[in-house]
Amino acid sequence: MSHAADVRISDPSAAQAAHPEANQAAPRLRDSFIELPARERARALLDAGSFRELLGPFDHIESPWLPLQGIVCQADDGCVIARGTIDGEPAVIAALESAFQGGSIGEVSGSKIAAALEMALRDCERGKRVRPVVLFETGGVRLQEANLGLAVIAEIQAAIVALRRHVPVVGVIAGMVGCFGGMSLAAALCSYLVVTKQARLGMNGPEVIEQEAGIEELDATDRRRVWQLIGGEQRVASALADQLVDDDSHAVRAAVRAAFTQGVPAAHRSEQVDTFLQRLARVDPASVTPETLRDVYNPPAHHATNGEQA
Amino acid sequence: MNDTTITRGARWFRALAGEPAGNGSVWSGDALLGGETARFITVVPDPANRFPRATTNVVGLEQGWRLARAVREAIDADADPSRAGGMRRPIVAIVDVKSQAYGYREEMLGIHLACAAAVDAYASARDAGHPVIALIVGPAMSGAFLAHGYQANRIVALDAPGTMVHAMGKEAAARVTRRTVEALDALGETIVPMSYSMASFAKLGLLDQLIDGVDADAPDAAQIERVRDVLIEQIRSARTGDRTLARRLESESARLTRAASIEVRRRLAEQWDAV
Amino acid sequence: MEHLTFDYPARRAVTTRAHVGVVGSGDLEVLLSPASTSDTSNSDNALSAHVVVRTSVDGYGHIWKSVLDRFFTRYDGAAQIEINDFGATPGVVALRLAEAVEAAGEGDAA
């Protein structure tokens, strides 16, 4: 506990504030969410002034494993945990920093997420609801911590399954790294997924598919193809994600708030086993395309207005 | 699949649970274990799988959703609290999965969700009071292990060549980290979480028992009986503890190799409520 | 990976702290906080600043010294400065140091 006062970095929109007369007439400038580092993304989603970081850089809980391999640590291990409020309700946000080791999950960064969800669960069980948000920007397990990365992802998944009985667990995938690996499973366990067009959500990265299955299976350099298969727009159109938003902090924040007002869905996507087995049976592996898939996974009759997972 | 090419998953399923109900890529069935009915589940190669990238012992689309169904059948069967004194049957995940399936169809059709469905089912079973035991008889790799086994209350493994837990196969990991396989092995000697050996996995506090002296490929009756006894004991133990994964941080090994995981939780709890 | 330390005389106490940057390729993070007052190597209780650098690039100790020497000609706070560097150029290092000073509200040093 430090006696020194924390002073945060000056607001990036300070330039805007310097010319208020320009703002009164002009439309509000778009504030890119993607360009924000993890800490500022978390701040942007919490009610103004409510941001309080836990286990921040000055707590110095770092990877015990990276220095053994000559890799410089980041003081927060690439994960920001922040408490605050969302629409006045207590909240906690876990935000992965993609600039550090691709947002990969190490023992500490993953444990921070698991611990935050476990604490939220403890509060919920005691009648104090906490709104959890996870900002998924990650390639998955940090290979330099291999088995611990994998283990903590299992712990994150366990915490999401338990917590989402009490309160929606809201995931955000913004890009540009996207959400891959074991964390894509965690994202799929969330009650709601808010994604941008730039986002990607997949279990194996395109490079890994190309490497394991050959370039005929997937050309990882074909960006158009990649986004067609696993990009944010396709995921929402095929009901594998819930809300498509512009790359704008205000839009992401509004979508997150709206997700919470919808409450816990009657059945999470990952619980709809018979539904998806039936859908898979209707798919012809030889001819299915991203477009035809949309009709199978998100049939027009089931377009929901209340955010129930299709 | 004839007896000479049978995979470990299939062999151990037959040894412990007899013939599976139904066929395809996921075998499941109920059999007696220590005097009670237990559900056994495993993934086997499926040369006739509709998805050409998912015909071996991998967790693909159908495997993920079928694993989920196999688990949920057990949850539903025992859901009535007046049945069997409220006792939930054990669920034994026999783990022999070399990876998740790699393919563009898999990604497009949401393999991440199919695997999440299996995670969900196993975690829900555990939360409902089913003792979930993972019996590792071969590879337990990456997303496939997350889906099938890693949500268990207890994890045990045969101490045999070919059983391993890791985030990525050795050759692929060598390519990605731009090292040789030999260099990776050397790294694993000093950096415990990077090792491919089951003994190192045990050091992380994640393994409840390493069963030695068992021929994973051709066990005799006595060895099968010994594995059965281990499962029975782990089931008994699982019923005495809580239903969460918190136990994974409580062992002596975990206190040593997962000190940071424990510290994170301790400090986060201290800072959780504003002073 | 190298671990470098530097000490500089200071003329005033530092009362705030700030963090800037990320440990991404070509970048660094800077943690600035009040220097520890229990530094026993400081025999006459003179104020001093202490810099710890962890860098992924070996062999550039002289460049780090040069960048820090220049920084401390304009900065006189008794700060603990921790730098985690992933191959930033001297220009980026100087920029991040300046950002940290500004973020800490220490910007009046000149």
Q: What is the pLDDT of residues A52-65, one digit of tens each?
A: 999 999 999 999 99
Residue C43: its pLDDT value, please?
54
Q: What is the pTM of this model?
A: 0.93
Chain A nearest-CA distance from B96, in A, is 17
Residue A29: its pLDDT value, please?
64
- Suggest the residue from B112, B251, B275 to mutate for an interface test with chain A (most A CBs closer than 10 A): B112
Question: Which pLDDT band, with edges at 50, 70 and 90, does C74 fall under?
Answer: very high
Contact A6 C23 (CB under 8 A): no
Q: Write down how long chain C is.
A: 110
Does any domain span residue C8?
yes
Q: Does the pLDDT of residue A66 top 50, yes or no? A: yes
Contact C17 A2 (CB under 8 A): yes
Residues B122 and B78 in one domain: yes
Residue C38: its pLDDT value, please?
58
How open is the CA angle C67-C73-C76, to the nearest 5 degrees? 115
Does any domain span residue C108?
no
Among B44, B67, B14, which Cα is nearest to B138's? B44
Residues B270 and B178 in one domain: no
Question: Which pLDDT band, with edges at 50, 70 and 90, does A3 fall under?
Answer: very low
The count of domains in chain C is: 1
Q: A2 and chain C: CB distance < 8 Å anywhere? A: yes
Residues B166 and B210 in one domain: yes
- Suggest the residue from A9, A62, A72 to mutate for an interface test with chain C (most C CBs closer than 10 A): A72
CB-based contact B165:B145 (threshold 8 Å): yes
Chain A nearest-CA distance from B163, in A, is 14
Task: List all residues of chain B from 13 to 42 with a beta carbon under 8 Å from chain A.
Answer: none
Does any domain span residue B182?
yes
H-run or E-run covering C101? helix C90-103
Read off the tokens for B214: 């068992």
Q: Does the pLDDT of residue C90 top 70, yes or no? A: yes
Residues B268 and B191 in one domain: no
Residue C36: its pLDDT value, please?
82
Residue A170: its pLDDT value, please?
98
- Chain A residues near residue C14 by CB distance under 8 angstroms: 4
Does any domain span residue C6?
yes
The count of domains in chain B is: 2
| Composition of chain B by helix, strand, coil, percent to 5 | 45, 20, 35
Q: How far apart are CA A106 and CA A87, in angstroms?
A: 32
Residues whose CB is less than 8 angstroms from the CB of residue B60 and which lie 6 or more positions away in sequence, other chains included: B25, B49, B51, B53, B54, B100, B101, B103, B106, B111, B114
Q: Which domain holds residue B54?
A: 8-244
The count of domains in chain A is: 1
Q: How far apart are CA A271 and CA B120, in angstroms?
A: 7
Does any domain span residue C110?
no
Residue B85: its pLDDT value, please?
79
Q: How far apart are CA A50 and CA A265, in angstroms?
A: 27
Question: Which pLDDT band, with edges at 50, 70 and 90, does A250 fall under?
Answer: very high
CATH of the domain at B79: 3.90.226.10
Contact A9 C99 (CB under 8 A): yes
* Residue B267 or residue A6, greater confidence: B267
Does any domain span residue B1?
no
Residue A2: its pLDDT value, please?
36
Does any domain span residue B257?
yes
Residue A26: its pLDDT value, please?
56
Q: Does the pLDDT of residue A1 top 80, yes or no? A: no
Dump pLDDT digits (tens) for B220-262: 999 999 999 999 999 999 999 899 999 999 999 999 999 999 9
Residue B178: its pLDDT value, please?
84
Contact A55 B268 (CB under 8 A): yes
Does any domain span residue C109?
no
> What are the Cα distances from residue A142, in Å, to A58, A92, A150, B189?
23, 24, 9, 18
Low-confidence stretches of chain B (pLDDT < 50) are: 1
Residue B3: its pLDDT value, please?
54
Residues B77 and B173 in one domain: yes
Ramachandran class of A101: left when φ > 0, alpha when ψ lies in -120 to 50, beta otherwise: left
Subunits with 3+ C-beta pairs closer than 8 A to B: A
Residues B229 and B256 in one domain: no
Contact C15 A71 (CB under 8 A): no
CATH of the domain at A144: 3.90.226.10
Q: Which domain holds residue A52?
A: 30-266
Residues whose CB is less than 8 angstroms from the CB of residue A27 and which lie 6 or more positions away in sequence, other chains included: none
Residues B162 and B257 in one domain: no
Q: How far apart are CA A246 and CA A248, in angstroms?
A: 5
Nearest to A5 among C16, C82, C85 (CB): C16
Does any domain span residue A293?
no
CB-based contact A72:C54 (threshold 8 Å): yes
Residues B105 and B239 in one domain: yes
Residues B269 and B196 in one domain: no
- Chain A residues near residue B244 by CB distance under 8 angstroms: 158, 162
**What residues are paired with C12 via a beta bridge?**
C77
Closest-CA residue of C relative to A66 is: C1
Q: How far apart are CA A216 and CA A219, in angstroms?
A: 7
Q: How far apart are CA A97 and CA B93, in angstroms?
A: 35
